[in-house]
Structure 1
Amino acid sequence: MSTSLLSTYDPTGFGGVVQEYQWQWENQPLRVVYETLGNGSPVLLLPAFSSVSTRQEMADLARLLAPQFQVVALDWPGFGESSRPNLDYRPEIYQQFLTDFVQAVFSTPITVIAAGHAASYVLQLAQQQPHAFSKIVLVAPTWRGPLPTMGANPQVAGAVRGLVRSPIIGQILYYLNTTPAFLKFMYRRHVFVDTAKLIPSFITKKWHTTQKPGARFASAAFVTGNIDAVHNQADFLNLVQSLSVPLMVVIGESSPPKSLAQMEAVAALPGVRSVVLPGTLGMHEEYSAEVFEAIQSFL
């Protein structure tokens, strides 16, 4: 496993130095793209898992942090500009990847800012390796994928995942669920608050992200809950309570009711610093300036 320089500019990034991390999972080579901007103490930015997941959603936050910190943002395996092979995407892959990436790229404890579903993986690594992180910020943290949140049982979710992974029917289903119109509908429903920001060029850029070869495999795993690192709120809260490093939680006041209740449960735990800001599940992208302002003193 190694890193290599990819380019000094990438239109999918935020103007930093773009590199590749060469990684393997069960003898399957994967190319993971990450980007570095600024100088100072290292801060790792982890985008939320979603069908449109990419480090670009952390771009504005990265630029705000860069004058004070060395910011590193990545595209998760199976998403963004990273490799998207036909794997059985499951928690073990992302648990091992995050462990290996942090060990390979950083030589000292780091601050990590994780959005959405990335929260569980950060908390698990912090539990297993208490010295990996110096501070943790969770922005609109979630732990349960969309279908399980809607009440689908594991059998139904598994059947949907199998259909999306299939060669012909899967491609059709994935296409129907990633049309620009459908993406805009989902953003309006629970990702952005200000729908005026959902201009055609924004949605087109998100749509292009979904059309990469192999994009449906990791996306289906997320939507159906197959990369849920924990399966109930008690386990998620136990991870938080096991922390030995400072934790701050940023809550989007317009988050969906179930997700909001989960965030508030974390914020209610002793020792957790929290703040409620405008936004919902995509607040790290939509309200990056407000998030930066809120976490600056904590960092």
Structure 2
Amino acid sequence: MSTDLLSNSTTFGIGGVAKEYRWNWENQQLRTVYESLGNGSPLLLLPAFSTVSTREEMSGLAKLLAPYFQVVAVDWPGFGESSRLSVNYKPALYQHFLENFVTSVFDTPIAVVAAGHSAAYVLQLAQKNPSVFSRIALVAPTWRGPLPTMGVDRQVAGMVREIVRSPILGQILYKLNTVPSFLSFMYRRHVYVDAAKLTPSFIEHKWYNTQQSGARFAPAAFVTGNLDAVHNQAEFLALVQDLSVPLMVVIGESSPGKSRADMDALAALSGVEKAVLPGSLGMHEEYPEAVAEAIAPFLGIAPVTK
């Protein structure tokens, strides 16, 4: 494992200094890209898993919080500018990555802001090793992938995953599910609230991210529920039991029904701080000012302004 400087200008970055973190998984070396901005105590920003996931979606939050922290945003393995190899993407891979990344890159307990599916992985690591995090803020936390959320049987979803991974038919299906019109539809349905923000240039930029070599493998695992770190709400809530790290949950008031129920249940647990703000599953990207303002006191800083 090593950390090597790449550049300070990347296509899907936050405007800081980009580096790469190399680590081994099942006898194969994977390259993960992360980026730092600002100075001060470290603050890790983890983007949500999605077909278009990149650390860039955390750029609004990063710029608002960089005056107070050394903000570090990372592309999950298989997403963004990290390696997109055709490995078996599963929870164990991401659990292994997160623990190794945090303990290798940082030498003090860090605050973390995790969006979407990142939530369960952060909570699992906090249970296993409470000393790595000082504070945890979860933004629109989820645990269930899109197909399981739609009620698709997990065995069927697993078959869909293997089809998408296949060389020819998989590429065709992936292309059909990442055309700009479909991406725009999905954003309007449950990611963004304000459709006016979904400009042609915005969607084209997201589409470009989906067209990278090997781009279909990790998203296929996410969409079919194969990256779900837990398998029911009870397991999700159990991750907070006996949690010794301060926890805050930020909820998008327009989140889809099933996801909103999970967020509300998590936020209702004893000792958990809560904020309900405008937005849906992409609120960390769509409304970074509101999110930063809400989590600022929790992170121990003055209210954040532009």
If the TM-score is normalised by the length of the shorter chain, which range does it land in?
Answer: over 0.9
Counterparts of residues 69-218 of structure 1 (less than 5 Å): 69-218=69-218
Q: Which amino acid aligns with 2:170?
A: G
Q: CA deviation at 1:131?
A: 0.4
| SS of equivalent to 2:84 | coil
Equivalent residue, structure 2, for 1:230: 230
| SS of equivalent to 2:30 | strand
Q: CA deviation at 1:11?
A: 3.0
Equivalent residue, structure 2, for 1:282: 282
For the residues of structure 2 that align with 1:286 and 1:23, how far apart are their CA atoms?
32
Equivalent residue, structure 1, for 2:29: 29
Equivalent residue, structure 1, for 2:57: 57
For the residues of structure 2 that align with 1:69 and 1:154, how far apart are their CA atoms?
41
TM-score of the superposed pair, with normalisation by structure 1: 0.99
Equivalent residue, structure 2, for 1:244: 244
Q: CA deviation at 1:139?
A: 0.1
For the residues of structure 2 that align with 1:222 and 1:12, how far apart are their CA atoms?
20
For the residues of structure 1 that align with 2:93 and 2:14, how far apart are their CA atoms?
26
Q: CA deviation at 1:27?
A: 1.3
TM-score of the superposed pair, with normalisation by structure 2: 0.97
Q: CA deviation at 1:14?
A: 1.8
Q: CA deviation at 1:249?
A: 0.2
For the residues of structure 2 that align with 1:17 and 1:106, how far apart are their CA atoms?
16
For the residues of structure 2 that align with 1:245 and 1:167, how far apart are their CA atoms?
44
Q: Which amino acid aligns with 1:235?
A: E
Q: CA deviation at 1:84?
A: 0.2
Q: CA deviation at 1:165?
A: 0.6
Q: CA deviation at 1:155?
A: 1.3
Gaps of 5+ in 2: 300-306
For the residues of structure 1 that align with 2:251 and 2:61, how far apart are their CA atoms?
16
Answering whether residue 296 of structure 2 is matched by residue 296 of structure 1, we say: yes
For the residues of structure 1 that align with 2:154 and 2:67, how far apart are their CA atoms?
45
For the residues of structure 2 that align with 1:9 and 1:207, how far apart are their CA atoms?
20
For the residues of structure 2 that align with 1:176 and 1:23, how far apart are their CA atoms?
33
| SS of equivalent to 2:240 | helix
Identical amino acids, percent of aligned pairs:
71
Q: CA deviation at 1:92?
A: 0.3
Q: CA deviation at 1:7?
A: 0.7
| SS of equivalent to 1:240 | coil
Q: Which deviates further from its counterpart, 167-176 or 4-13? A: 4-13
Q: CA deviation at 1:64?
A: 0.2
RMSD (CA atoms): 0.6
| SS of equivalent to 1:158 | helix
Q: CA deviation at 1:8?
A: 1.9
**1:191-246: CA deviation from partner (whole Å, max 9, x where unpaired):** 00000000011000100111111111000000000010000110110101231010
Q: Which amino acid aligns with 1:164?
A: V
Q: CA deviation at 1:275?
A: 0.4
For the residues of structure 1 that align with 2:43 and 2:122, how far apart are their CA atoms?
13
For the residues of structure 2 that align with 1:167 and 1:242, how far apart are their CA atoms?
45
**1:252-276: CA deviation from partner (whole Å, max 9, x where unpaired):** 0000000000000001100000000
**Paired residue total:** 299
